[in-house]
Structure 1
Amino acid sequence: QFMTETAQMADIVLPATQFLEHDDLYKGGGQQHLLLGPKVVEGPEGPKENLYVLNELAHRLGAPDHPGFKMTAREHIDWMLQQSGYGTLEELETTRWIDLQPDFETSHFLNGFGHEDGKFHFRPDWGRSAAPNKPASGQAMGPWTTMPELPDQWDAIEAADDRHPFRLVTAPARSFLNSSFNETESGRKKEKRPEVWLLPDEAALYGVSDGDLVKMGNDRGVITLHARFYEHLTPGTVISEGIWPNDAFVDGKGINTLVGADPVAPYGGAAFHDTAVWIRKA
């Protein structure tokens, strides 16, 4: 949808429709509803919906024949609803959503939990326990063998030390859910620039004033951005809200310069908020 830095790395870019430009189904976040996202406007010339691209690839690559490769998005939705016992697309267009919240006993675990013995496990065997995102190899990832046997604080990635006295949090800004959002003029205007939030008392130890340019780094690299004083931080913690592209930073190097790529236990992923850094006035 936008020529983000990720898209710019591609040899071939297939522009996609946005969510108001195609029919789709959505699962609720934090609630149990299946929602219809109907197409309400025509997209500009060029962009195609993902389903069209998949169907065309199947035809051109000689994939085995499958009814789905000939379906439109609306036909797919209708087929999925009927196969799942949720009625038809026509019915969903009338009701607009389907409440899939489990019954009271199930949602409150009165009949037990999802293990063979039905019990809640305070001490799971991470090497054997199943997870939706478990790798195809069936093996746990990251330093899972050193995980605490019972729930506890676990400094598995990077703790602050004398060289790196701050823990860095890289949460998205309100205007930037993902990198597509930082392509919007209104979002960039509201968020203004990449900054690192500091406690005034801690900033004073390094001669940093509110609004100063600072260097922030660790063994992975160094970036340059502006300091912003914020009174409500946990001591020893700094925040740099994202997600800004590299070219928004003074020296063209973004926040990912500092963030590691080691898989976290037990099933992988990225430890965005386990990064130790130092800060000094630029």
Structure 2
Amino acid sequence: MQQTETRTARSVCPFDCPDTCSLHVTIEEGRVVSVGGNPDHPATQGAICNKVRNLPDRVNHPDRVLYPMRRTGPKGTHSFERISWDEAFEEIVSRMQHTISEHGAEAILPYSFYGNMGILSAEGIDRRFFHRLGASRLDRAICSAAGTVGYRYTMGGSYGIDPEDTIHSKFVLIWGCNLVSTNMHQVMYLTEARKRGAKIIHIDVHRNRTSTWADEFIPILPGTDTALAMGLMHVLIKEGLTDEKYLAEYTVGYEDLMAKAEEYPPEVVAGITGIPAEQIVDLARRYAAGTPSFIRIGNGLQHHDNGGMAIRAIACLPALTGQWAVQGGGAIKGNGGYAAFNADRVERPDLLPDPNVRMINMNRLGEALTEADPAVRFMFVYNSNPAIVAPDTNRVREGMMRDDLFTVVHDLFLTDTCLYADLVLPATSHFENLDLFASYWHLYVQLHEPILERMGECKSNFELFKELGLRMGFESELFDITEEQMIREALDNPDNPSLDGVTYEKLKERGWMKLKPVGPAAGQGGLPTPSGKIELYSEAMARAGLPPVPEYSPILEDNGLPFLFIPGPNHNFLNSTFANQEKLKRLEKQPLLDMNASDAAAYGIADGDRVRVWNERGEIRITAKVAGNVLPGVVVCQGLWWESGNDGVQAANTLTSQRLADMGGGATFFSTRVDVEKL
């Protein structure tokens, strides 16, 4: 009788989430049977979300793709036959070479994002391969691009306070962020802060789990966050609640900001935001009095036409009352700047045969696949599911249906995108990979070593693009390398002082290391802005043709329809990841459309009715949830459900626009106007 071997292994959560948890994984006879949190990790402390607790169902899922497959039926159907890796590589290489000879390398487009956040899996040898190939470059701007640029204009980069310090915060604004569903460890820290006397205010367009958990919820009309930030500044300045000494020493442009804030008295801001004037005044006073005060800036509010400016404006607030100088004061939009690896050395953009090769914004994939000149003839998809996550879904799918477009998808499952694939390649789970992980919230870097044998014939992104590079005849010194070599290259970044002392050997020994706190994380100045200070007035913005101090501009009225449609995240999926797991689907139950009771009454819609939501890009049919969770004129649905395997479910991004935000080429998912009717 075979002896059963049971062991516990250390792992890291790989998904696109700020928490980047350390995990303990129980394995029996080579099979993952349970996943829990690692109590020894200083930031995540043994707590994990329910999604990750259900990882055994994902890695052992009966629908895992385990070998390469070639399409046998028409596009739009999951019709595939098994082939060998040699056959798959031969077809990819010959198709790429033919595309380059007939149409040029620009006709090849990689499409990827952060379905796996490992440095090697998301931005390693894959980037090097496509640079060496000379393919069109992908502007990966679908998530946080607008806000990242807006915040950078103020603070110089993705630098906030150390989240471990937020236990000392006394007044907290959670702004446009459903923390309970998307950043649970920040909830842990703020729960401790509340035990010590902190007050927690949630500002959002939708009453959700975080609203219930917070001490107070302030609903705001979508796309008006800049106006609220300016209104708070108006009150702080007018009532003498600013820290003049801090402003004089650590900021530039305060006088210009004062003049602009004068244009935003509470009565004006109330008419824009839907927040009563007296509440705006009260909020500003409590923010000033609550030192140390902390703002957790969310992702959602940057997904508007004016999203970059919204983040830029909110990022100015901590400077006005000197919060950056107080432990537990300041803000976090993202902390990825502390973990900046040596991207040039890993990705090798210098290999591009033409440095001016075209850049295609991933938010305009539908446009690129239907209108680009020269046409995209070959698309390579990995770490993403564009048939669900990309805006203007119908246009994306129209492009992917083209007979003259050859599409390769590397994934763990037959996603909706695989409906349009010519080849599907089996991807490893992160449990099977050596990789390096950083958080865009906490300050720890983690090394992940493989804890499972390869399932079936799966390959990691690193293996796939390494072998493709060698089969294309590219230089062996660039592609005949190991994962360890690339991790060492990534860690070798003299330009980032936060990486001082972080080595491969120490990570292998300890599992994680904390980045050296600098700038806001250490309560210091010396920001990487042009002035070295917090820039309330930005000369760089003026040169770019943008307002140099924050100012509000309304989102676009693109079609005159009556409702603003917000497709936010849900609790049990992460974008479209986990959306094929039956247990998590049962917990989520069904897609719902939150609608204000007064709007529903005017349209003759009752709670539980099926409704049609439509605009010029398409329509979805969904069940209405009628309550007071949103303001009049706003409708919200949560979660990117797969259409495959879910009869009657339709992709929410059918309705969203390919229009770009004010900064960074960011997405405008939440600046979508629709109409609603009862079915």
TM-score, normalization by structure 1: 0.82
CA deviation string 1:97-156 (max 9, x = no partner): 121142367743523x32332233334343746xxxxxxxxxxxxxxx5x5553233223
What's the CA shift for 1:249? 6.3
Distance 1:256 1:168, change over 3 A: same
Residues 175-194 of structure 1 correspond to what in structure 2 (within 5 A)?
A: 175-194=572-591
What's the CA shift for 1:244? 1.2
What's the CA shift for 1:204? 1.3
**Distance in 2, Cα, partners of 1:105 & 1:233:** 35
Name the amino acid aligned to 2:445: L
Name the amino acid aligned to 1:152: E
Corresponding residue for 1:108? 523
Higher mean C-alpha displacement, 240-249 vs 217-226: 240-249
CA deviation string 1:33-65 (max 9, x = no partner): 111122111231121011111110111001122
Partner of residue 153 from structure 1, selected from 543, 552, 574: 552
**Distance in 2, Cα, partners of 1:196 & 1:181:** 21
1:19 and 2:430 correspond: yes
Corresponding residue for 2:100? none
Q: Is 2:563–2:674's contact at 8 Å kept on the other side of the alignment?
A: yes
**Distance in 2, Cα, partners of 1:4 & 1:164:** 32
CA RMSD of aligned residues (A): 2.6
**Distance in 2, Cα, partners of 1:275 & 1:39:** 43
Tell me the matched-pair count: 261
Distance 1:43 1:231, change over 3 A: farther
Name the amino acid aligned to 2:535: H
Q: Is 1:199–1:230's contact at 8 Å kept on the other side of the alignment?
A: yes
1:173 and 2:173 correspond: no
Residues 43-82 of structure 1 correspond to what in structure 2 (within 5 A)?
A: 43-66=454-477, 69-78=479-488, 80-81=490-491
**Distance in 1, Cα, partners of 2:427 & 2:433:** 10
Q: Is 2:641–2:650's contact at 8 Å kept on the other side of the alignment?
A: no
Corresponding residue for 2:641? 244
Corresponding residue for 1:36? 447
Corresponding residue for 1:93? 508
Q: Is 1:214–1:281's contact at 8 Å kept on the other side of the alignment?
A: yes
Q: Is 2:566–2:669's contact at 8 Å kept on the other side of the alignment?
A: yes
Corresponding residue for 2:166? none
Q: Is 2:542–2:548's contact at 8 Å kept on the other side of the alignment?
A: no
Name the amino acid aligned to 1:119: K
Name the amino acid aligned to 2:509: T
Three-state SS of the structure 2 residue aligned to 1:51 is helix
**Distance in 2, Cα, partners of 1:127 & 1:3:** 47
Distance 1:114 1:74, change over 3 A: closer
Three-state SS of the structure 2 residue aligned to 1:210 is coil
Three-state SS of the structure 2 residue aligned to 1:197 is strand
What's the CA shift for 1:20? 1.2
**Distance in 1, Cα, partners of 2:519 & 2:489:** 29
Uncovered stretches (5+) of structure 1, i.e. residues with no partner: 130-144
**Distance in 1, Cα, partners of 2:439 & 2:473:** 36
Distance 1:197 1:167, change over 3 A: same
Distance 1:208 1:87, change over 3 A: closer
Three-state SS of the structure 2 residue aligned to 1:186 is helix
TM-score, normalization by structure 2: 0.36
Three-state SS of the structure 2 residue aligned to 1:182 is coil
Q: Is 2:502–2:513's contact at 8 Å kept on the other side of the alignment?
A: no
Partner of residue 216 from structure 1, selected from 605, 613, 616: 613
What's the CA shift for 1:200? 2.3
Name the amino acid aligned to 1:38: E
Q: Is 2:525–2:533's contact at 8 Å kept on the other side of the alignment?
A: no
What's the CA shift for 1:198? 1.2
What's the CA shift for 1:26? 0.6
Three-state SS of the structure 2 residue aligned to 1:226 is strand
Task: With a CA cutoff of 8 Å and minimum separation of 6, indicate the structure with the bigger relative contact order.
Answer: 2
Distance 1:243 1:107, change over 3 A: same
Three-state SS of the structure 1 residue aligned to 2:424 is coil
Three-state SS of the structure 2 residue aligned to 1:181 is coil
CA deviation string 1:208-242 (max 9, x = no partner): 11111101112222221111124322332211112
Distance 1:172 1:87, change over 3 A: closer
Q: Is 2:580–2:642's contact at 8 Å kept on the other side of the alignment?
A: no
Q: Is 2:562–2:675's contact at 8 Å kept on the other side of the alignment?
A: yes
What's the CA shift for 1:78? 4.5
Q: Is 1:35–1:97's contact at 8 Å kept on the other side of the alignment?
A: yes
Distance 1:86 1:191, change over 3 A: same
Q: Is 1:211–1:227's contact at 8 Å kept on the other side of the alignment?
A: yes
The alignment-based identity, stated in percent, is 30
Name the amino acid aligned to 1:89: Y
**Distance in 2, Cα, partners of 1:277 & 1:245:** 21
Uncovered stretches (5+) of structure 2, i.e. residues with no partner: 1-411, 495-499
Q: Is 1:225–1:249's contact at 8 Å kept on the other side of the alignment?
A: no
Corresponding residue for 1:126? 541
Corresponding residue for 2:11? none
Corresponding residue for 1:132? none
**Distance in 1, Cα, partners of 2:479 & 2:427:** 18
Q: Is 2:567–2:639's contact at 8 Å kept on the other side of the alignment?
A: yes
**Distance in 1, Cα, partners of 2:456 & 2:667:** 37
